[in-house]
Structure 1
């Protein structure tokens, strides 16, 4: 029995000095040593981001601003909505030509109210929209078609407007949604908005049941996402609007990190009579500043019987600080 086992062992095991394929251990070690070390692509991306950030910081320190930055040299005035939905705002409520004629008058009003700063027109399209139905993956959000997004951008180019693509994540999150917009954000006229009102992942309920929330880490993710696109495509800084009208919509605001490649606008998004709107601006925007401020006006909800009315540019400019982004819904 012992002899049988010995013969079997010899038949299946290679000798100590060679492999069955004829390659010696020394030769194998030499081949292994010659192989390049695996590349940590994530570490390279992080290093590149840091290098680009430091470069941007140095330019800002030397010149006060990155080339092509919109704020604070211009005041952005935007029409908001969805070009495929009449109920979401002025942007889709009226026929295109009629809407732009109205927009031209609004731009002129703002330019007259503050001639010291040029007005930059913008169209702000809700591109990923919270939904009442869950959809196939249960995330309660729906993205505009490629054709619709391209049409929005074309509208912007036809009327010398910049374009904001706005994101309502539903039960999804920014990490899973923002990459869908990257091809469009490579266009220098395209910027982004994020809306915590419909960010329901931490709430665990469908949109519309409660007011949602973003934390500083979510805003920081959006900033890093946009900063990378700016660096990789040699673009001017992007503008990021963050909607807000309650305390809980943004948590840990002091942890939001600014980057010269992204200009952050904390945007007062509430509706009602002017006193309420001004109080909300003071409580959630003025008292918790990040970088730049915004203010929304509602054609439908603000325009109620007295004391309700749509605030005039002069009234809005009386706020402290003066908003640099104005949005009409």
Structure 2
């Protein structure tokens, strides 16, 4: 990650109970064949009905069954299990890393005994690249074996798992369908990172400039996850959206909430505590969406001395207190 500073369309509904009947007219002529079924419109109608039902449940109970937020605080280790340079997930040997995660979970639980912690792994699964590749999209997806391995790690240690997406010069519409088979698993959730979304910046290499997503992109991700939840009868998915500058997310007021997807706007910048708090207030608190997240960097936040990695109590003191915490 870069430093904080710097850089519906409506369709006509068929009448209830109406069926298309084959046969003859009163004059004996053959009736016209029924119009072909528009499966896309039928699916959209089913999704709309499911969304209304979900809204009704939420109004009565406060959340859909199985929702992680706001009843829990998610504590995630971020990185890529095939890379030592992307974060704590992958930097240390597996069992050593999980021992550290257990210690961190205990610290957070002690800091706020009123809210149970939920352990998580956050694996960058589609990663922006320094070269364009054969299709010129500047991104690379983990192999099926790697994704299945990190899912097994999560299940072995009772974690949920976030598959994170850096689209490079591709788009969410092109990349997210590649992950659908994994997102059907109840423990698998999604992260999207506008920092590395450069489709509107032709010729720009990832890390040269900070990318951007519009509300329309976030809404696409929400609709994509909501469909998976409905079709597979899953509990709500969590969607994390990285952010540490204003332009990383445009038109935030147009982001549409859906009870089947819990959106976390995640403060993803590194630096000394005062700068991180200011960024949280400027880009997360002042442009609210739903839930909030906060990132801590083992390698960058504590440098130079006397700066330090913020403690759980310091982070919980933020208003609102973040419900998603990520360590890189």
Distance 1:116 1:290 in 2: 24
Q: Which residue number in structure 1 is paired with residue 16 of structure 2?
A: none
The CA deviation string for residues 195-225 of structure 1, in whole angstroms up to 9 with x for no partner, is: 0000000122221110000000000000000
Secondary structure of the 1:102 match is helix
Among 54, 57, 78, the alignment partner of 1:56 is: 54
What does 1:31-110 align with in structure 2 at a 5 Å threshold?
Answer: 33-110=31-108
CA contact (8 A) 1:299 1:328 kept: yes
Which structure's relative contact order is higher, taking Cα pairs within 8 Å and 6+ residues apart?
2
The TM-score normalised by the length of structure 2 is 0.90
Q: Which residue number in structure 2 is paired with residue 314 of structure 1?
A: 313
Distance 2:62 2:322 in 1: 20
Aligned residues: 301
Secondary structure of the 1:88 match is coil
What does 1:144-155 align with in structure 2 at a 5 Å threshold?
Answer: 144-155=142-153
Q: Which residue number in structure 2 is paired with residue 136 of structure 1?
A: 134
Q: Which residue number in structure 2 is paired with residue 20 of structure 1?
A: none
Q: Which residue number in structure 2 is paired with residue 159 of structure 1?
A: 157
What does 1:279-290 align with in structure 2 at a 5 Å threshold?
Answer: 279-290=278-289
Secondary structure of the 2:265 match is strand
Secondary structure of the 1:236 match is coil
Distance 1:134 1:30 in 2: 62
Distance 1:83 1:35 in 2: 56
Secondary structure of the 2:164 match is strand
Gapped runs of 5+ residues in structure 2? Answer: 1-24
Q: Which residue number in structure 1 is paired with residue 205 of structure 2?
A: 206
CA contact (8 A) 1:90 1:328 kept: yes
Secondary structure of the 2:235 match is coil
Distance 1:154 1:200 in 2: 32
CA contact (8 A) 1:122 1:164 kept: yes
CA contact (8 A) 1:273 1:307 kept: no
Distance 2:249 2:286 in 1: 13
Distance 1:297 1:307 in 2: 16
Secondary structure of the 1:73 match is coil
Distance 1:63 1:87 in 2: 43
Distance 1:30 1:44 in 2: 30
Q: Which residue number in structure 2 is paired with residue 256 of structure 1?
A: 255
Q: Which residue number in structure 2 is paired with residue 233 of structure 1?
A: 232
Q: Which residue number in structure 2 is paired with residue 23 of structure 1?
A: none
Q: Which residue number in structure 2 is paired with residue 21 of structure 1?
A: none
CA contact (8 A) 1:167 1:195 kept: yes
Q: Which residue number in structure 2 is paired with residue 16 of structure 1?
A: none
The CA deviation string for residues 19-49 of structure 1, in whole angstroms up to 9 with x for no partner, is: xxxxxxx9xx956x44221221221121111
Distance 2:199 2:93 in 1: 35
Q: Which residue number in structure 1 is paired with residue 271 of structure 2?
A: 272
CA contact (8 A) 1:141 1:171 kept: yes
Question: Do structure 1's residue 323 and structure 2's residue 328 form an aligned pair?
Answer: no
Tell me the CA shift for residue 306 of structure 1: 2.6
Tell me the CA shift for residue 106 of structure 1: 0.3
Secondary structure of the 1:51 match is helix
The TM-score normalised by the length of structure 1 is 0.90
Tell me the CA shift for residue 230 of structure 1: 0.2
The CA deviation string for residues 104-155 of structure 1, in whole angstroms up to 9 with x for no partner, is: 0000000000000000000000000000111110000000000000001100
Tell me the CA shift for residue 183 of structure 1: 0.2
Question: Do structure 1's residue 224 and structure 2's residue 219 form an aligned pair?
Answer: no
Distance 1:208 1:39 in 2: 47
Q: Which 10-residue stretch deviates more, 228-237 or 304-313?
A: 304-313
Q: Which residue number in structure 2 is paired with residue 10 of structure 1?
A: none
Change (3 A) 1:111 1:47: same
Distance 1:208 1:293 in 2: 25
Q: Which residue number in structure 2 is paired with residue 126 of structure 1?
A: 124
